[in-house]
Amino acid sequence: MTPSQLAGTFILEAEDLLNQIEEVVLDLDKNTADPEAVNRLFRAFHTIKGSGAMFGFDAVASFTHQVETVLDRVRNGSLAMSRPLVQLVLNARDHIKILLEKSADVPASVHVAGESIVEALKALLGPSVPSAAIIPAAIPAAIEPAFAANAPASWRIYFRPAHNIAATGQNPVALLNELRALGSCRVKCDTAAIPPFDQLDPEACHLAWEVALTTEKDANAIRDVFIFIEGECELEIERLAATPASQPALAPQAPLSAMISAEPAKTAAASPSPTARAIAGKDSSVRVPSDRLDRLVNLVGELVMNQSRLSQVADRSDQSDLAVPVEELERLIAELRDTVLGIRMMPIGATFNRFRRLVHDLSLELGKEIDLVTEGEETELDKTVLDQLGDPLVHLIRNSIDHGIELPDDRERSGKPRRGKILLSAAHIGSNVVITIQDDGRGLAVEAIRAKAVEKKLVAPDSNLSEREIFRLILLPGFSTAKTITNVSGRGVGMDVVQREIDALRGTIDISSVPGQGTTISATLPLTLAIIDGLLVSLGEDKFIVPMSAVVENVELTREQRTRNNGRNVVAVRGDLVPYIRLRETFALPGDGPDVEKIVLVRMGGERVGLVVDRVLGSHQTVIQSLGRFYRDVGVFSGATIMGDGRVALIFDVGGLVRFVDGKNGISAKAPPRDSGARPLSACSINTFNT
């Protein structure tokens, strides 16, 4: 690895640690009396400091040292963890993140901000405690000056490193040196596990050490020596009963274990640090640049398309011996496709964790008390979907915090607990993932939404809208019922952005709410954006794909039915009237189409809409290709795919198509109708419109 690659690896691992720090600090915010959380926090900062110094991030190392000093006081019990300290540690964590991001050229303003955090940290330490000087970055952590002097105690330390300790860049001798720096030390190496010479892997470590240490430092300081290999070694730290201040050096031949008279405190190795795991290569995961994965997915896409062509050729061919190998190839490629797409699947938990901080910060800002509860963090989604999901979820959660959850006093007055709750959950349902944001706030005011929609001419005053249709109005551009505009939300630019971004992900939004009890917003998303199951349909000579995840069922539409409806584009499906779009008319295709057409019923935001096509050809594994920049703004199609015969089939963006038809009918948000209760199709379950 080159130095810049090493630095890059450090930054990646430091970012992981900073995410962990944020998580732990937010836990501490709820329960400040969790010693293990403080230890985890300390170790994470300690690792960042040590690694930062090692890779030349001196500003990071120096700054982190200050945080570590304070946390050391907390874990020693001489400083209490408090809410202000929690906030300070969060600020420090953010500052380190900035230092890492701007490592090449840190602006003076960032340094000033860092100094103010350091001053605040020092103020917490108080005048009675000598403030630890900023250590030179290269000095190993374990030989830093003591933070506080304690009475000397004797310790027995046993550690057996992992065989591959050398591969981690760690050296047992360096660890022994660090222990020596803590106090007087006697070391005994256990050589019993060394294999016979001809079976020995000379670069693997088969040794263990038993160390008798007399030091003023506590168990944490000793454990910190092993911080880079914790989880990668057997480690026992035991405090001996006798205080050996006056004890002479151990007799050379005496086994160290004989020194142990009691074992009141035994510290086992803690859970592995990510840095140690990553360096040791024992993690079952490998970091791969996402563009390489994208390339792999694209190649598999090409393979799927070519296999499809090959299958068609084989079908047309008279050579029957082609059938078996082509089928086998099809099976293998399907397996390869699933495996490769599986590589890009990531649990949504990391995305969820980002919102804990958001909830914490906004709650403070707005004077609210809110718990964020997450469920289904293990639910996996394609990384591409996850990457694009963050912004809409931020909007939704901000709205819940700002408009949904009431102030604590207001909640109390209405008989609710002072602390509000936002439940963020994810679950697989069929080939989709449903992400739900549920709050226990005041709920949506149906009448206020309706009045605002009428005022903004989004719906006609006499329109007959169901509650669910009214809720969906908040997704229209420019809609906001907030009485005051805050810097959190209330400008009406959030929810339509959410709608657009969820559309772009081929997803749908559903809203339900109970006044006084809260609001639930569900986003249903496809698992992946790369290859989808599609329903292949035809219109004239052209073929199109309807994403299968949106398809509910197919029904027939006869010429007679159309005539009977007198031009109203609705069809009765088991007693319900469902609006439909005649795509042949929408796209101005020549001819009148077959006598019996097919209606593909799709679900959009909890409502059904029909798409009338000439024929339904069947399901199709669809490798999604982008349309290119010339067609970027065509909202009706979300992409294209290449068929087995080499022809292109466009993929419908169902939401975009419905909005396009709304607009074409003059009932879009920009030009709302004033007549007879016509409503945007995107907000209706029953509509009558012509294309």
Partner 1 sequence: MTAFSSSISGTKVIEGPDARALIISTVASWHRAWKTMSDHKGELVISLENVTEFDAFGLQLLASFVQSARRSGRVLTIRGASDALREAGEKIGFSPSALGLEPDTRGMDVADLREGSATTVQ
Provide, rounded to whole angstroms, the least separation between the CB of residue 181 and partner 1.
13
- Piece of 168-176, 268-276, 353-361, 520-528 that binds partner 1 (CB under 8 A): 168-176
Q: Which CB sits closer to partner 1, 211 or 260?
A: 211
Contact 24, 42 (CB under 8 A): no
Contact window for partner 1 (CB under 8 A) among 32-40, 86-94, 127-135, 200-208:
200-208
Taking CB under 8 A as the criterion, the residue among 202, 264, 367, 575 binding partner 1 is 202
Q: Which is nearer to partner 1, 71 or 175 (CB)?
A: 175
Among 200, 254, 323, 648, binds partner 1 (CB under 8 A): 200
Q: Return the amino acid letter for 457.
A: K
- By CB under 8 A, name the one of 12, 26, 54, 166 that touches partner 1: 166
Strand bridging mode 596-604 / 551-558: antiparallel
- Identify the residue whose tokens are 């908040």: 474
Q: How far is the CB of 175 from partner 1 (least distance, A)?
A: 10
The kind and range of the H/E element at 616 are: strand 615-623
The backbone torsions φ and ψ at residue 187, rounded to the nearest 5 degrees and listed phi first, read: -120, 135
268 pairs with which residues across the strands? Answer: 236
Residue 194 vs 265, nearer CB to partner 1:
194
CA distance 560 to 562: 5
Residue 162 binds partner 1 (CB under 8 A): no
Nearer CB in complex with partner 1: 188/664: 188
The residues in 215-254 that bind partner 1, with binding defined as CB under 8 A, are none
Does 148 interact with partner 1 (rule: CB under 8 A)? no
Q: Which is nearer to partner 1, 136 or 195 (CB)?
A: 195
Tokens (6 digits) for 405? 């959850």
How does DSSP assign 455-475, residue by residue?
Answer: HTTSS-TT----HHHHHHGGG
Q: Which is nearer to partner 1, 127 or 196 (CB)?
A: 196
Cβ proximity to partner 1: between 6 and 166 the closer is 166
In the complex, minimum distance from the CB of residue 267 to partner 1, in angstroms, rounded to a whole number: 21
171 binds partner 1 per the rule CB under 8 A: yes
Figure out which of the listed residues 35, 126, 195, 515 binds partner 1, where binding follows CB under 8 A.
Answer: 195
Strand locations in 13-120 (E): none
Number of chain positions touching partner 1 (CB under 8 A): 23
Q: Cβ 249 to partner 1, closest distance in Å?
A: 12
Q: Smaller CB distance to partner 1: residue 27 or 190?
A: 190
> CA-to-CA distance for 559 and 579, rounded, in angstroms?
16
If the CB atoms of residues 188 and 500 are measured against partner 1, the closer one turns out to be 188
Please choose, out of 192-200, 365-373, 446-454, 630-638, the segment that lies near partner 1 by the rule CB under 8 A.
192-200
Using rule CB under 8 A, residue 366 touches partner 1: no
The single residue among 203, 234, 361, 576 that binds partner 1, judged by CB under 8 A, is 203
User: Judging by DSSP bridges, how do beta strands 153-161 and 208-215 pair with one another?
Assistant: antiparallel
- CA-nearest of 330, 324, 290 to 308 is 330
Rounded to whole angstroms, the Cα distance separating 478 from 296 reads 41
Q: How many CA atoms lie within 13 A of 357 on its CB side?
A: 19
Q: Residue from 205, 370, 473, 601 that binds partner 1 (CB under 8 A)?
A: 205
The answer to whether the CB of 181 falls within 8 A of the CB of 143 is yes
3-state secondary structure of 564: helix
Q: In the chain, what is the straight-line distance between the N-terminal and C-terminal CA atoms, in Å?
A: 62
SS3 state at 521: strand
Which of 97, 206, 282, 500 binds partner 1 (CB under 8 A)? It is 206
Stretch that binds partner 1, among 193-201, 281-289, 565-573, 611-619 (CB under 8 A): 193-201
Tell me which H or E stretch contains 330.
helix 323-343
As a whole number of angstroms, the distance between CA 20 and CA 93 comes to: 10
Interaction of residue 468 with partner 1, rule CB under 8 A: no
Whole-Å CA distances, 452 to 145, 445, 456:
66, 11, 6
State in angstroms the smallest separation of the CB of 187 from partner 1.
4
Contact between 473 and 496 (Cβ < 8 Å)? no
- Angle at which helix 35-54 crosses helix 58-75, to 10 degrees, equals 160
- Using CB under 8 A, which of the segments 195-203, 235-243, 261-269, 558-566 binds partner 1? 195-203
Binding site for partner 1 (CB under 8 A): 166, 171-173, 176, 187-189, 191, 194-198, 200, 202-203, 205-207, 209-211
